Each structure stands twice: as C-alpha cells, then as structure tokens.
Chain A
Amino acid sequence: MVDFDVRLGLTPADLALRELQIRRPAEYVPLNPDDSPELRVIQANFPDDIVSSRLFRGEKTIVVKKTNIVAICKLLYQSPETNYNYLSDMTAVDRLKFMKDDEPRFEIVYNIYSMGTFQRFRLKAQVSEDDQTIDTVESVWPNANWVEREIFDMFGITFNNHTDLRRILMADDWIGHPLRKDYPLGGEEVEFTYNVRGK
C-alpha cells in the first residue's frame, strides 16, 4: 500500500534544484478600484475578506478568504455593476511546491463571465490544508455541481452542502486525489539484474 501523504514534491534535492532555477520576475500590479467594479463591490460589502488582487495581462483576479464565498459570488452575480451570470469554469490549484509556510495550500479558482458585458473575471478562494472544505456555490450557478465534483475527485476538497458529492472522473473505489502535487506519479521500475529485489 502506497502512503499517499508522502510529500514527494518537497524532497531536499528538489527544493535545492528549484532554488537554482532562474525565474523571470513577475510584474505585480494590484487592481485599481476605479477600473474594477468587482473590487469596488467586494470592498463595499466584504472589506475584510479581500486578501489580494492582481491585474496581469489584462486579466483581473481577486483572492478572497473562503468564509463568505457564497455571499461574494451571489453579490457578483446580482450586483448590476458586475452581473456575472455565467460560471464558465471552476478549478483548484495545489500550491504545495512553491507556497510559503504561512500560506494556504489550495486555491479554488472561479472563472466567471458576464453575458451582458462580455467581461471575464477570476475569483480565487483560499483553502488551507488543515481545513480542506469550502461552501458550494451551486445555489448561485447550478452548473457548479459537476465541476465541484471534479475538484473533489482530483484534489480531495470537500464542498459543504453539495447535493451530490462523489467522484466523477475516477473510479468510485480509487484511492487518493490525482491532481495533488504530492500524489505519486506511477510507473513501474524496469527490472534489470542490478535492481531485482528478492528474486
């Protein structure tokens, strides 16, 4: 039985290698409330929930805490300024390999779209490793049902109040959550004379 909790991604050798890698510096531009109705709306109603915001290559992103996620989503849907009535996509990111110790491990990414203004917006909610749950947004966008099932299947994040939370792509008896960064990549070692064990 493989221990799926082993953090294979964080071996000292791996860390040292990543330190050596030269990375291009990231331009970090926070969102300007004058240009972003999303930021204005969230700031007016949930000022304590905003963690950070970013404008990168013309794409707007706001990171929020997960406590009021359903209310924030509902706000973005119902507010006439934003009116994000279409959940285009939803996913999660496991930041295990480059997060700092005090940062939450997972990010749930809501890729939302407005059919009225044709604007796209990215909302991210932070989910920590200690409490891998978040509320479902099914009540706002019904099609969150399947994508949330996929996130549960692939990342093991549980959605509170979800109507039908079970695996969707992997088999029902599958062990582990494949898209986590500490999920061991399979593959059997090719047997040669020097590595045949116990034969």
Chain B
Amino acid sequence: MRSLSHRARFLALGTAAVLASALVAACGSSSSGSSSSSSKPILIGASLSLTGDFSADGQAFKRGYELWASDVNAHGGLLGRKVQLDILNDNSSPTQVDTNYTDLITVKHVDLTFGPFSSLLTAPSAEVAHRYGYAFIEGAGGSPLVFSEKLPNVFDVALPVANELDPFVNWIKSLPAGQRPATAAYPMANDPFATPQVQRVQSFLQPLGISTVYSKIFPEEVPDYLPNADLVAAKKPQAVILGSTDVPTVASFMHGFEQQHFNPKVFIAAAGPDQGQSFLSAVGTANASGMMVPNAWYPGYANPTSQAMVAEYVAKYGGTASGVNADVAEAYSVGEVTAQAVKATGGTVGSKIIAYLHSGVTLSSVEGPVQFNSLGENIKAIAFIFQWQNGKFVQVLPVGAPGSVKILYPKPNWAS
C-alpha cells in the first residue's frame, strides 16, 4: 500500500512535470510567432518603471516607445500589420519586472518584447525572455551585469556602460603631463550602471601617474550624501569622477563641495547633469558650468532620423528640443532595431531575429549605427562627453568630432 502510494505520488509528480514542460514549450513556441501575414496587430510587451526610483527615466522610455509605435503605424505598420504596445509598470522592482515579462509572454502572448529601464531590471527580465525564446532588444541595460550571463537573446542598442567615459580618458591622456590633474577621487554609488565605468577610468588614469586619493563605493538611496562629499572634499582631489545614478546624488556632492569651499579642476558624473532642467534647478545654472557627463546621444545630434524624432517629440509632447531626454532616443532605437530585424526575417520568430542580430549586420538608429557582438553589446555605439557651459549643454568630447566645442577646463569656481 505504502509503495503504491509512493508510486502514485511519483506518477503524479512526473505527469505534472511533463505538463509543465509542455506548457513552457507551448509558451515558448508562441514566441516563434507567425511568419505569415495577418491583419492582427503585432503585440509588443514591455515593462517600464512608471513609478518608483527609476520613474523619471521610465516615463521618458514610455514616450520613446510610444513615439516609435505611432511613427511606424503612421507609415503602414510592420509587415503590413499595425503595432500595438502593452506596457506594464514594474515600480522599479527587479521582482515585479520578472513577473511582468512572465505575464506578457505566457498570459498575454505578446509577439515581441522590448526591454525595461536600467541594468538592474534588464538582467532578471532578459532571463525570462530567454526562457521562452524571445529576442530581448533593450536600450538601458548596458552594464557588465547584463552581459555576464552571456544570454544569446540580449541586444543592447545603447553604448555599453563600461565604455561611456572612454572619451574622457582619451582626453586626459591627450593633455600634456603638466596640465593633467595630479590627483583624482572616485566615489561610486553601489549600482551596476555607476561602478563599472568609474572603475574603468581609474584603471586608465592611475598608470598615467594620476594619484588616487579616494576610491570607495557608497550605498544608494540614502537621503543625503553629506558625509561622503565631506570625505572627498577633505582629500582635495583635482579630478572627481563620480559614479552617480541620478540628480540628487550629484547635486548632493556639488552642494557638499561648495559648503566645504572645495572646487576640483575637473568634475564628471556618470549621470545627473544630463537631466536638463531638473539638474539646473537642483544646482543652479551658474554652478552647473564646467560639470560634465557622458552620453551616447543628445538632442542636437547631427543625424537626420534623430532630428526628425526630436521634432516629432516636441510637436507631440511640447517643450523644447534641448529638453528631450536621451532615454527617449534609447527607447526609440529599440523600436527601430526591432523593426529592421522583423522586416529582414519576415516575421516575429524569436530564433530568426536572434540569429539575424548576431549575423554582424549593421543597422541604423537615431543614436547612430548598431552592430552587435556575441554578447549583444553594440560595438558601433558612439560615446560623447557633454558639459554645461553658461547654461548651455554642449558636446565637448571627443575633441574634433562633429559638434564638439572647446572644453571648459579647469572647471569654474562655484558661483555663490
């Protein structure tokens, strides 16, 4: 009796496992979609941080996706089918993003998926998409954390995070030894976006003889960074390379430095100064002068499709061209790359799209050319460094690149 019961339980478990496998396979096969034409819209699922820590970026991404979708539909859709977005809110939570993509794929049976915002959320969601055979094209998951899993379905259209500050390093290298900063500080937020790029800069500047006086990782999401800013200021580094993720972090450090009457010769932050009016209102227009930030795109980027997108954005959402966030371009690029892959493969079949994007083909986007390596990094992405100069956000690096103006160096003193 006992053995019968044991066997029955074993059978039940086995049946459940088989059914579960069949279910997963069925869901996975749905990702292969259909190559045949149909009047049904192509359903694209995405999870975005519409609330929570990344909500400012998430909202900008949503506008970017929607702008792309409306453009595509205005031109007859994809493969003759309209495009329809299904965007869920993950509240900036890595757990929720996992649930959302599972829901989009297994319940809503979307034809394609677009990535979420931030590497922190891209890493878990890419795994979900991989499980069901979906290509996962994204625009804000460029940290090594995302690529370390070596998932074949991940394609980041943006610049790999670790390389964002390369033009800054090249510029420092190009300076005569006497003009280079002698010392540098590397405070970094504990975030997969912030740390890799700052650590990379440190690894290049140290061999140049630029002495490291501070290099520490601080926790994110604390309400103020005064103690950390004080510690950096006490070391009086000539260069500060701040691994920030948002406006409050960089504004707190700037306020702290000003309160300590400390002004570095050069101050570059991984994120924050690129946030336009939010940044200016937090630090003041005069104090912003000299602050630098890396990015792969800016509203004045001399690319016809980019300029058309900026004009459309302003017409649809209002504001000015200079207020268009780089997140919008990243999201729009995701749509553009997906569209090219769908057209080239003649459908939404995940495996075909993945193979096509790994074929070494060069695609185009509002951010410039896109070509993926075996990890899914965009090896054709262009890195720029921007700087605030007298209330204007201008491209300064690479030196000599189209659109670059003379860098403001050393950084002007605090205005107040």
Q: Do A and B come from the same complex?
A: no
